[in-house]
Structure 1
Amino acid sequence: MTQKSMLQKVYAQVDKLPTPLKTRAFTVIFGRAVKFFRTTGCKFEWIETNHAIVSIKNKTALQNHIGGLHAVVMLMTAESATGALVGLNVPANAIPVIKRMEVDYRKRCSGDLRAEAMLTQEQIALMQTQEKGEVDVAVTVTDSESKEPIFVRAVWAWTPKR
């Protein structure tokens, strides 16, 4: 990958920082592009080109009628973790778009939430060498009790910019 996207350029700069500063800087920059991410108060706890962890606090404004995080907030946390990884790996002339998200709501979310997404080296190579395509990004969503309130499958696509 010779030419870099704006997200990739920013990541290259913040990657030089110690982890606490790196994740804080990436959170702020990602939040400028993805306004709902910023509005909800999501944070990157970890960000590498193949591994992202996004967390969100269970605040009253984000809760459903039973005190857990709202379904949309839980899904957005998973989308942000997976989307950041895709954005860091697709060609600079490509646009990443969520193609499909499947979610199974398994239990009430207890407390805060954490979404951990991973890419394999094969997936990264595919994104960096193909003009367009799609990838199924693994993501695990856990709550404060280390239980999985939702199961998410995120399929991302990328296509050349017009």
Structure 2
Amino acid sequence: MKNQLAKIVDKLQSKPKWLRGWLLDFALGSTIKFIGTAGLHCEELTQQRACFLLKNRKKVRNHIGTVHAAATSLVAETASGMVIGMNIPDDKTPVLKTMHIDYVKRSTGNLRAVATIEQAQIEQLHQVEKGDTVISVVVTDEAGVEPVECQMTWAWVPKRRG
């Protein structure tokens, strides 16, 4: 059963291809302000995979001209969170529990984060009232290098009534 976010993404798929990305970026950036502020672009969003691009622009650069560490973690967190968001039942709230990032190389240019979720994890989201799971996310730069190694643990809890 699809949740509200997955239904919205499905509706956007009926729009012309040139408009889909802009509409999804606008919707996500309006809902999660920091995504819009940083200028993240959603390249793909399905129930199994999320791919986000962060361009190396002045507003996200550090003092050495690469994407800032915080912006790097943002693109990884966003991709992993969106793949959880596409699958979590509407009566549960996702919460980032831990974010482990090792900065192993200097990045070159833009960053792309790809997060995936396994069917067993999706089933767990639906069957367990509250819990957590590690979402796989790979961040690469324009040279195809992985400048960071990430591990994102997402938890979920029942939504508060009221």
**Which TM-score applies when normalising by structure 1?**
0.92
SS in 2 for 1:54: strand
Equivalent of 2:65 in 42, 67, 70:
67
Equivalent of 1:136 in 134, 137, 147:
134
1:32 positional shift: 1.2
How many residues are aligned here? 160
* Mapped partners of 1:27, 1:78: distance in 2: 16
Equivalent of 1:118 in 109, 116, 134:
116
Equivalent of 1:147 in 135, 145, 148:
145
The root-mean-square deviation of aligned C-alpha atoms, in Å, is: 1.5
Larger CA deviation: 121-130 vs 74-83 = 121-130
SS in 1 for 2:52: strand
1:108 positional shift: 1.2
Q: Which runs of 5+ in 2 are unaligned?
A: none
Q: Which runs of 5+ in 1 are unaligned?
A: none
Does the 8 Å contact 1:19/1:46 carry over to 2? Answer: no
* Mapped partners of 2:120, 2:104: distance in 1: 30
Corresponding residue for residue 105 of structure 1? 103
| Equivalent AA in structure 1 for residue 137 of structure 2 | V
1:8 positional shift: 2.9
1:96-129 Cα deviation digits (max 9, x unpaired) = 1100000000111110000001011111121123
| Equivalent AA in structure 2 for residue 11 of structure 1 | V
| Equivalent AA in structure 2 for residue 15 of structure 1 | Q
* Mapped partners of 1:146, 1:36: distance in 2: 26
**Which TM-score applies when normalising by structure 2?**
0.92
Change (3 A) 1:59 1:71: same
Task: Give me the identity figure in percent.
Answer: 36
Corresponding residue for residue 26 of structure 2? 28
SS in 2 for 1:148: coil
